[in-house]
Amino acid sequence: MEERAQDPNPTFGMPGVVGRAVPVPRWLHAVREIRRRVESGLPVLLITPSVIAVMIFVYGFIGWTVYISMTRWNDVLPDYTFIGLRNYIGLFQTPRFQADIRNTIVFTAFFLLGAIIMGFFAALLLDQRVKGETFFRSVFLFPMAISFIVTGIAWQWLFNPQTGINLLLKYAGYSGPLPRWFTDPTIMFGVKVGAIQVGIPVALIPVVIAATWQLSGFTMAMYLAGLRGIPEELREAARVDGASEWQIYRHVVLPLLRPVTLSALIVLGHISLKIFDLTVAMTGSGPGFATDMPAYFMFETTFRGNHFAQGAAIATLMLLMVAALIIPYLRYSLSRETEL
Query: CB–CB of 103/117 below 8 Å?
Result: no
pLDDT value for 5: 47
Report CA 109 to chain centroid distance, whole Å: 15
pLDDT(14) > 80: no
pLDDT(164) > 90: no
pLDDT digits (tens, 9 = 90+) for 277-330: 999 999 989 999 999 999 999 999 999 999 999 999 999 999 999 999 888 888
Query: CB–CB of 280/295 below 8 Å?
Result: no
**pLDDT tier at 9, thresholds 50, 70, 90:** low
Average pLDDT of the residues in 248-252: 90
Indicate the DSSP class of residue 163.
Answer: S
Question: If we measure between CA atoms, which residue out of 249, 244, 236 comes closest to residue 121?
Answer: 249
pLDDT(212) > 60: yes
Rounded distance between C-alpha atoms, residue 11 and residue 22, angstroms: 8
Report CA 321 to chain centroid distance, whole Å: 13
Query: CB–CB of 257/227 below 8 Å?
Result: yes
pLDDT value for 82: 95
Average pLDDT of the residues in 173-194: 89
CA distances from 252 to 230, 233, 235, 249, 261 (A): 9, 11, 7, 6, 15
pLDDT(12) > 60: no
Global pTM value: 0.84
For 330, other C-beta atoms within 10 Å of its C-beta total: 11
pLDDT digits (tens, 9 = 90+) for 218-233: 999 999 999 999 998 9
pLDDT(251) > 70: yes
Least reliable range by pLDDT among 54-63, 72-81, 138-147, 327-336: 327-336
* AA identity, residue 183: T
Residues in the chain: 340
Domains identified in the chain and CATH numbers: 96-339 (1.10.3720.10)
* AA identity, residue 81: T
CA distances from 86 to 69, 91, 101, 266, 310 (A): 9, 9, 19, 31, 9
Least reliable range by pLDDT among 149-153, 170-174, 328-332: 328-332
pLDDT value for 23: 72
Calculate the CA dihedral of residues 69, 283, 143, 257 and round it to 10 degrees. 60
Question: If we measure between CA atoms, which residue out of 165, 194, 200, 199 comes closest to residue 180?
Answer: 165
pLDDT value for 1: 44
pLDDT value for 83: 95
Least reliable range by pLDDT among 51-60, 122-131, 312-321: 122-131
